[in-house]
Amino acid sequence: MNRERFIVGNKIELKAYGKINLGLDVLGIFPDGYHKVEMLMAQVSLADDVYVEVHHLYEKKDCEKNHKETSIELKLKGKEIIDDAENLAIIAARTFLKNKKITGNITIEIKKNIPIGAGMAGGSADCAAVLHALNVLTKDVGEGIPLEELVQMAGEIGSDVPFCVMGQIKGNNILTDFYEESSALSFFGLAVETGGVCIPVLSYNWKVLIVKPDFSVSTKEVYQGIDSEMSSPKLSRQRDKNFRFRRDATYNDTSEILNHRLDGRRNIEVFKIAQLIEEGKPVESIRFMGNILENFTEKKYTEITEIKDMIRKQKNAVSVLMTGSGPTVFALYDDEEKLMKDYKMMTSLYNEVYKTETLWDNIF
């Protein structure tokens, strides 16, 4: 009997949301070279559009017998991005199919809206969208992959991908219906270890201005630089290689649950930011916001500081920070009118300026 399974014309479209870091701290280096971090990430409405279409699927034993190989076509629209085997979307598709022991013919189309090389996890967001899309489209071939396993898979691809997996569920109706765990997830997430242990945090709506200068920075270079700048301590214990969500955790019991991980000094009070937002005190959380990576990136790329100073001088934004390893600057606002004043100013100076907002639970 021919066990070849065909799925023809199955296509899904997902929003792959970008992120900003409301807090980012580096606490040390694990023996394998990975960094111990604490991050509070927030997804924003600025998103790539990701389309995934499955033309044919084959069970692994049949594809080996009939020499069927995986074929992945990637179509890119918008900004210039890597379109070869190093693209995270292609890596996500190959990783998923390998884990599910299937192969097939797949087309991925990405319309890029998130700035490239900006510290906004655009590539990680696309990667997460492909994982979700294939999980939905291949549900009739074997069983759907549980969220915990999908998160583990995501973490093996990139440290920002698990958070993107979480937020996209809340922001795409088809995923909310697909995953039983969706009600416990959020658009904000507290990430620890190397970023893969994520705890949902109550989300809040800020209006956001995004400004990306006309250059990109190397994440590897920035982390190496911050190690030298801050003398990042060498950690003796091995990193936790399990990537997961603690859906049973709220901020109130996060400290107890992760107590064994809270070793080392604190430069940015990331947990305090999360706590205040959870307690309905987002305004108070603002004074604790910060990004330790600014200590290196701004010294080497002084234009980042100049952008921040220009925005701050207008006194419209409640907070102005760099996201991720940079170079993108974001500003938070409590109303649209104040954002528009700075938006008009920055669009006269820079090519990549965006109006967006943090996603919150009642947005959809």
Tokens found for residue 360: 């919150």
Average of per-residue pLDDT across 71-78 = 90
Query: Given this model, what pLDDT does residue 258 score?
Result: 39
Q: Which residues contact 39 (CB under 8 A, 6 or more apart)?
A: 21, 23, 24, 25, 190, 191, 192, 195, 270
Active site residue 160: yes
Structure confidence at residue 252 as a pLDDT band (50, 70, 90): very low
Q: Which of 52-61, 75-84, 144-153, 322-331 shows the lowest mean pLDDT across its residues?
A: 75-84
**Highest mean pLDDT range out of 2-11, 260-269, 304-313?**
304-313
pLDDT of residue 256 exceeding 80:
no
Parallel, antiparallel, or unpaired: how do β-strands 10-29 and 35-59 relate? antiparallel
Query: What percent of the chain is helix, strand and coil (3-state, nearest 5)?
Result: 40, 25, 35
Positions of E strands within the chain: 10-29, 35-59, 71-77, 102-111, 188-192, 197-201, 207-212, 244-245, 290-291, 319-322, 329-333, 352-357
Q: Which of 44-53, 206-215, 225-234 shows the lowest mean pLDDT across its residues?
A: 225-234
| Contact status, residue 118 vs residue 301, Cβ threshold 8 Å | no
Selected catalytic residue, list 25, 48, 126, 160: 160
Give the residue extent of every domain in the chain: 10-357
| Contact status, residue 41 vs residue 20, Cβ threshold 8 Å | yes
The string of pLDDT tens digits covering residues 165-204 is 988 998 998 998 888 777 668 899 988 776 667 888 889 9
Average of per-residue pLDDT across 111-125 = 94
The fraction of the chain above a pLDDT of 90, given in percent, is 55
- Mean residue pLDDT of the chain comes to 84
Query: Given this model, what pLDDT does residue 64 score?
Result: 54
Query: Given this model, what pLDDT does residue 238 score?
Result: 57
Answer with the residue of higher pLDDT: 182 or 139. 139
Query: Given this model, what pLDDT does residue 143 score?
Result: 73
Give me the CATH topology for the region 10-357: Ribosomal Protein S5; domain 2 (3.30.230)
Structure confidence at residue 242 as a pLDDT band (50, 70, 90): low
Backbone angles phi, psi at 306, to 5 degrees: -60, -40
Query: Given this model, what pLDDT does residue 81 score?
Result: 58
The string of pLDDT tens digits covering residues 86-108 is 789 999 999 999 999 898 899 99
Structure confidence at residue 277 as a pLDDT band (50, 70, 90): very high
Parallel, antiparallel, or unpaired: how do β-strands 197-201 and 244-245 relate? parallel
Query: Given this model, what pLDDT does residue 41 score?
Result: 96
346-364 b/e (C-beta count within 10 Å ≥ 16 → b): beeeeebbbbbbbbbbeee
The fraction of the chain above a pLDDT of 70, given in percent, is 81
Residue 134: count other Cβ atoms within 10 Å of its Cβ.
26
Residue 234: count other Cβ atoms within 10 Å of its Cβ.
10
Q: How far is the C-alpha of 41 from the C-alpha of 201, rounded, in Å? A: 9
Please report the DSSP string for 152-169 in residue order: HHHHHH-TTHHHHHHHHH
- Residue 98 DSSP one-character state: H
Average of per-residue pLDDT across 302-316 = 98
Average of per-residue pLDDT across 67-75 = 81
| Contact status, residue 295 vs residue 286, Cβ threshold 8 Å | no
| Contact status, residue 170 vs residue 182, Cβ threshold 8 Å | yes
Q: How far is the C-alpha of 108 from the C-alpha of 325, rounded, in Å? A: 28
Q: How far is the C-alpha of 134 from the C-alpha of 92, rounded, in Å? A: 9
Q: Which of 12-26, 213-227, 259-273 shows the lowest mean pLDDT across its residues?
A: 259-273
Structure confidence at residue 2 as a pLDDT band (50, 70, 90): very low
Average of per-residue pLDDT across 331-357 = 97
Active site residue 19: yes
Selected catalytic residue, list 19, 68, 207, 308: 19
